[in-house]
Amino acid sequence: MNDSLLQQLAGTDRNPMQEQEYRRELDKSGIPYTIDAQGKTIVEGFGAGGGSADGRGFFSPANILIQQSIAAYTKQLDEYNKKYNQYTSNNPFVFDEVLKEESAKVKERLDPYYTQTLGDYLQGVETQRRRSLQDERTLLSELQRNTDTYTGNERQQLEDAIDKSQQGFADAGVYDSGARLREEGRIKADSNERTDEFNYNQEQRANAYKLSTERGLEDSRFQEGLKRRDLATDQAYQVQAQAIPEAQSRQKLYEFQRQQFAGTPPGVNPINYQNSLYGLLG
C-alpha cells in the first residue's frame, strides 16, 4: 500500500514549505502538535520526525485513529477539568475555615445548655453559701446573747455574794477588818475566773463555727472551679465532636455540587456516574 502524504512528510527532513504542508495534513487528521523554537513541528509521541523516524508506522490509519481518539478524549478531559477548576476557584473550600464556622454554629447551639447547667449549679452553690453565712451569723448572735445573759447573771451573783459577805462581816462587827476585803477579793476573783472561762468557751465555739463556715466556702469555691472546668472541657469536646461531622457533611455537599457542575467525566457512563455521585452525600 502506498504511503499517505502525511506518512511521507513525517519521514522526511522537511523544508519550510513541507513543514507547512505537514501541519495542514496533521490538522486534517486532527492530530495535535506544537512548534518548537526552530519552527519544527512536534507531535507528541513522535517528536519532530524526519530522517529515520518511523512516520509510516506512527501515521498509519489505525494509529491516526488512535491519535484522533486520544486528542478527542484529551479535549473532553480538558473541558471537564476547566469546569471543575472554575467551580473550585469560584467556590474555594478550606476545611479549617469551614470547621471554624461550624464550630461557631455548634457552640452557639450548645451554649444554652451549658449556660443553664452552670447556672443551675451556681444557684445551688450560692444558696449553700448564703445559708452557711446566715447560719454562722445566727449562731454568733446566739453566742453573744448567751454571753450577755451569762455576764449579767454573773454580775448579779457577784454583787449578791459581796453583799452577803459584807453583811456577815458587819454582823460579826469586823466589817472594817482586812478579812472582809480579802473575802471580797476572793469572791471577785472567782467570779472573774468563771466569766473568763465562759467567754473563752464562747469564743472557741464562735471561732470553730467561723472556721467551719470558711472551710465550707473554700470547698464550695473549689468545687465551682472544678465544675466550670469540667463544663468548659465538655463543651469544647461536644463542639468539636459535632462540628467535625458538620464540616465533613459540608465537604461532601461541596464535592457533590462541584461534580454536578463539572458534569460527567469523559468516558464515564452518565447514569452510572450520577448514581455514584449521590453516594458522595452518604
List interacting residues with other proteins (CB under 8 A): 105-106, 109-110, 112-113, 116, 234-235, 238, 241-242, 246, 249, 253, 269-272, 274-275, 278-279, 281-282
Beta bridge partners of 42: 34
- The total of other beta-carbon atoms located within 10 Å of residue 130's CB is 10
Number of helices (H), then strands (E), belonging to the chain: the values are: 7, 2
The residue among 110 and 161 lying less far from other proteins, judged by its C-beta, is 110
Alpha carbon 134 to chain centroid distance? Answer: 41
With beta carbons less than 8 A apart as the criterion, state whether 162 and 188 touch. yes
* Helix or strand run (H / E) with residue 93: none
User: Whole-number minimum distance, CB 227 to other proteins, in Å?
Assistant: 16
The residue among 12 and 238 lying less far from other proteins, judged by its C-beta, is 238
The residue among 45 and 245 lying less far from other proteins, judged by its C-beta, is 245
Residue 172 and residue 167: Cα distance in Å, rounded?
Answer: 8
User: Whole-number minimum distance, CB 124 to other proteins, in Å?
Assistant: 17
User: Whole-number minimum distance, CB 233 to other proteins, in Å?
Assistant: 12
With beta carbons less than 8 A apart as the criterion, state whether 95 and 55 touch. no
User: Whole-number minimum distance, CB 67 to other proteins, in Å?
Assistant: 21
- The total of other beta-carbon atoms located within 10 Å of residue 26's CB is 20
The residue among 146 and 240 lying less far from other proteins, judged by its C-beta, is 240
The residue among 185 and 270 lying less far from other proteins, judged by its C-beta, is 270
For 46, half-sphere exposure in the C-beta direction (CA atoms, 13 angstrom radius) is 31
User: Whole-number minimum distance, CB 110 to other proteins, in Å?
Assistant: 5
3-state secondary structure of 42: strand
User: Whole-number minimum distance, CB 43 to other proteins, in Å?
Assistant: 29
3-state secondary structure of 265: coil
The residue among 23 and 227 lying less far from other proteins, judged by its C-beta, is 227
The residue among 14 and 258 lying less far from other proteins, judged by its C-beta, is 258
Q: Which residues contact 145 (CB under 8 A, 6 or more apart)?
A: none
The residue among 77 and 241 lying less far from other proteins, judged by its C-beta, is 241
Residue 109 and residue 103: Cα distance in Å, rounded?
Answer: 10
User: Whole-number minimum distance, CB 250 to other proteins, in Å?
Assistant: 8
Q: Is 9 exposed, middle or buried (0-12, 13-18, 19+ CB in 10 A)?
A: buried
User: Whole-number minimum distance, CB 32 to other proteins, in Å?
Assistant: 25
Side chain identity at 131, as an amino acid letter?
R
